Structure 1
Amino acid sequence: MLLITFMLAAGFVCIHLFSRYLPFLDDFPRSRLLSAAGGISVAYVFIHLLPELNKHNEVLDKNIQTDALKFFENHTYIVAMIGLGIFYGLERLVKTSKKRQQEKHNLDRASKGVFWVHIVSFFLYNSLIGYLLLHGEQETKTGLIFYFIALAVHFITSDHALREAHQEIYDRIGRWLLAAAILVGWAIGITWRVNENVIAVLFALLAGGVILNVMKEELPEERESNFWAFAAGMAGYTFLLMLA
């Protein structure tokens, strides 16, 4: 299993480094492949991510023994909501910064300070995804493959959004850091098993971030998504998950 997880981590790295060369990313209206990818991501959220979040909630309920941690009892979903709020705040920060840069400097990207805030957040996000290759709920090779497929298409769309927000600095620096983050998380998973309570809270934050990032890429009207491709991706991936 160790070799398989390394190969999948390497696959995530390749996506970050080379997704910029996919020809359909800049299609307008949105390409059918991107809409199908959005459907796969949505299916992953509802069929896999939310049930797994419930399992992490049970872990916290079982292990909480002190009053200081009582807040997290039955509140993993609140932590997920906080994660969604954090990533939404980041998106608003990027858009506001990009607008100011356009007005003051005629630049079609966010400021460098906002870039680093954004990338550090996604670095932590990716590190946890790399860690969960080894210590997630995927106990079989099939489960790992489905985990990879869902997050691979998610990375393709999120990379595209980050590139639109930060332009050349993302290709020059950002994509390399996010690729490295996957390997950092995977390496931590080999050498150190993080306390399951900490992972439960971090996973809830991650879940909120995934939900926000999936929804923001598919729902805005200006994306002009292809509904039937979106529905086909969602139905097809749901069917595969139900068979697993």
Structure 2
Amino acid sequence: MGISYVFLVLLPKLAEIQSAIDLDSGTDPLLPAGLHVYLAALAGFVVFLLVAKKDLAEDRLGLGQKPSGTTLLVASVFGLYNAQIGFLLGDWPFASLLGYFGLTFAFGMHFIGINYHLWKHYPRRYCRYFRGIFSLCLMLGWLAAFLSDQLGPVFKFSTLFVVGGIIITAIREEIPPKEAANIPYFLLTVTATSLFIVFTEILLARGQ
């Protein structure tokens, strides 16, 4: 689910943000090629990879250990990401219930994959902190969609801060080591989820 989501949802969202920057800019851009958003996302990817790689499984060392910078980074990135999804679900028009339920189901499956990955690496921290933080952020994002119409651009641009973590998580979760690789299952999963995302996008576009 994660790989398909990255290519069919996250990358188009980055293109949308870059287009908004190009339209709103009244002066010549710093980078004529219009790569501001992609460079910011790449920087976030590199930072998240370096920090997370340093101590991804620290949770296994002891129950009483204080959360490190890595743990706080993971909680912040995925907490913000959950708030984004909550805002999107709350802000989405209800013109097509079928498309809306399809969107909700797709994100539900996406959350299962991401949370399983985090629980596997942080079994104690996830049950003790992450689960509650992520649920709270999801609800706060959903409530924010009803309380303010001005937060849409804020949540949209916050994608730059989370896209690196989402891409890394998707790659780690869906592309296993060589000895555990199951190519037919991987291809089947990518194909099925891609078709589902495309079908859901079509339903949502028709409902708007």
Verify same fold: TM over 0.5. yes
**Once the 2 structures are TM-superposed, how far is the Cα of residue 180 of structure 1 from its aligned partner?**
0.9
Structure 1 gaps, min length 5 = 1-39
In structure 2, relative to structure 1, the CA distance for the partners of 1:218 and 1:143 (3 Å cut) is same
1:63 aligns with 2:24: yes
Identify the residue that residue 3 of structure 1 maps to in structure 2: none
Larger helix percent: 1
The corresponding residue for 1:206 is 162
1:125 aligns with 2:84: no
Residue type of the partner of 1:149? F
1:221 aligns with 2:177: yes
Distance, in Å, in 2 between the alignment partners of 1:111 and 1:118 is 14
Please say if 1:175 is aligned against 2:131. yes
Q: 1:166 aligned to 2:122?
A: yes
Q: How many angstroms does 1:124 deviate by?
A: 1.7
Q: Kindly tell me: are residues 222 and 164 of structure 1, through their superposed partners in 2, closer, same or farther at Cα, counting changes over 3 Å?
A: farther
Q: What runs of 5+ residues in structure 2 fail to find an aligned partner?
A: 203-208
Q: How many equivalent residue pairs?
A: 198
Decide whether the 8 Å contact of 2:117 with 2:169 is kept in 1: no
Residues 186-224 of structure 1: CA distance to partner in whole angstroms, max 9, x if unpaired?
111211234555444312333333222101212241682
- Root mean square deviation, CA, Å: 3.4
Q: Is the 8 A contact 1:124 1:181 kept in 2?
A: yes
Relative to the length of structure 1, the TM-score reads 0.66
The 1:117/1:210 distance shift into structure 2, 3 A limit, reads closer
> Against the structure 1 CA distance between its residues 120 and 238, is the aligned structure 2 distance closer, same or farther, given a 3 Å change threshold?
closer
The yes-or-no answer on 1:51 pairing with 2:12 is yes
Q: Which amino acid aligns with 1:48?
A: V
Indicate the percent of aligned positions where both proteins have the same amino acid: 22
User: What residue in structure 2 maps to residue 113 of structure 1?
Assistant: 68
1:174 CA displacement: 1.8
Contact persistence 1:83–1:205 (CA under 8 A): yes
Task: For residue 234 of structure 1, report the CA deviation from its aligned partner.
Answer: 1.4
Distance 1:155 1:241, change over 3 A: closer
8 Å contact kept, 1:127–1:181: yes
Quote the offset at 1:137 in angstroms.
9.7
User: Among 78, 82, 97, which residue is 2:39 paired with?
Assistant: 78
Q: Distance in 2 between matches of 1:90 and 1:133?
A: 30
SS where residue 72 of structure 2 aligns? Answer: helix
Q: Give secondary structure in 1 for the equivalent of 2:121.
A: helix
Whether the aligned pair in 2 keeps the contact of 1:42 and 1:234 (CA below 8 Å) is yes
